[in-house]
């Protein structure tokens, strides 16, 4: 007899990863608050979290890509385009961040000759990410509220007697 392993709730897993990504984003967006070493290492970890997020949603990405010009909701198209912009922008942020690295790459023995152009592009793309992330959160606000109530607030609330 084979023992069944309990599968994690996908929405709970998505909420936990999304919350971690969002908190990392907030801290990474304030390098003066966290300091350059934390900013750089957290941003590298942020890139890994984004890859995890994409892998968890890979089926959705493929399905919407196949139906993008066919039968699909406009909200899915807008969400898809926004996600592509976020991915491109995040890639630019991470790449330019590595090009101007003052802590992470030098610690690994990698010396990069980052200049003012990389720094300006890094700053502009980071500012654009704030705007895109705000739109992304707004588009998913109902899901965020619903899942937060279900997995965070409800378990913390005292049980109401049935009657």
Q: Within the chain, where are the H helices?
A: 10-28, 31-34, 36-56, 58-67, 74-99, 104-107, 116-139, 141-148, 154-156
Distance (Å, rounded) from C-alpha 19 to C-alpha 1?
38
pLDDT value of residue 161: 55
Q: In Å, how far are 57, 138, 161 from 150, measured between CA atoms? A: 21, 19, 18
* Burial class of residue 6 (count of CB atoms within 10 Å of its CB; 0-12, 13-18, 19+): exposed
Q: Which two tokens stand for residue 158?
A: 């005292």
Distance (Å, rounded) from C-alpha 88 to C-alpha 106?
25
* Burial class of residue 101 (count of CB atoms within 10 Å of its CB; 0-12, 13-18, 19+): buried
pLDDT value of residue 78: 92
pLDDT value of residue 140: 93
Distance (Å, rounded) from C-alpha 31 to C-alpha 26?
10
User: Phi and psi (nearest 5°) for 65?
Assistant: -60, -40
pLDDT value of residue 5: 59
27 neighbors 37 (Cβ within 8 angstroms): no
Q: What is the pLDDT along the chain (163 residues), one digit of tens a residue?
A: 566 556 568 888 888 888 888 888 888 888 888 899 999 998 888 888 888 888 888 898 888 888 888 888 888 889 889 989 998 999 999 999 989 998 888 888 888 877 789 999 999 999 999 999 999 999 999 999 999 999 888 888 776 555 4
Helix (H, G, I), strand (E, B) or coil at 101: coil
Write down the residue that tokens 């992304």 correspond to.
Answer: 136
């Amino acid at each position: 007899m084979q023992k069944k392993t309990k599968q994690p709730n996908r929405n709970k897993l998505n909420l936990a990863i999304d919350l971690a990504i969002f908190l990392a984003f907030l801290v990474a967006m304030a390098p003066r608050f966290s300091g350059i070493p934390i900013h750089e290492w957290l941003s590298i970890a942020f890139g890994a979290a984004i890859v995890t997020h994409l892998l968890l949603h890979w089926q959705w990405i493929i399905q919407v890509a196949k139906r993008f010009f066919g039968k699909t909701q406009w909200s899915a198209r807008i969400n898809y385009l926004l996600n592509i912009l976020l991915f491109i922008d995040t890639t630019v942020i991470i790449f330019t961040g590595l090009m101007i690295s003052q802590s992470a790459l030098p610690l690994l023995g990698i010396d990069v000759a980052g200049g003012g152009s990389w720094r300006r592009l890094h700053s502009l793309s980071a500012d654009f990410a704030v705007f895109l992330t705000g739109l992304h959160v707004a588009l998913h606000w109902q899901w965020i509220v619903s899942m937060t109530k279900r997995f965070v607030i409800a378990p913390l609330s005292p049980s109401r007697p049935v009657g």
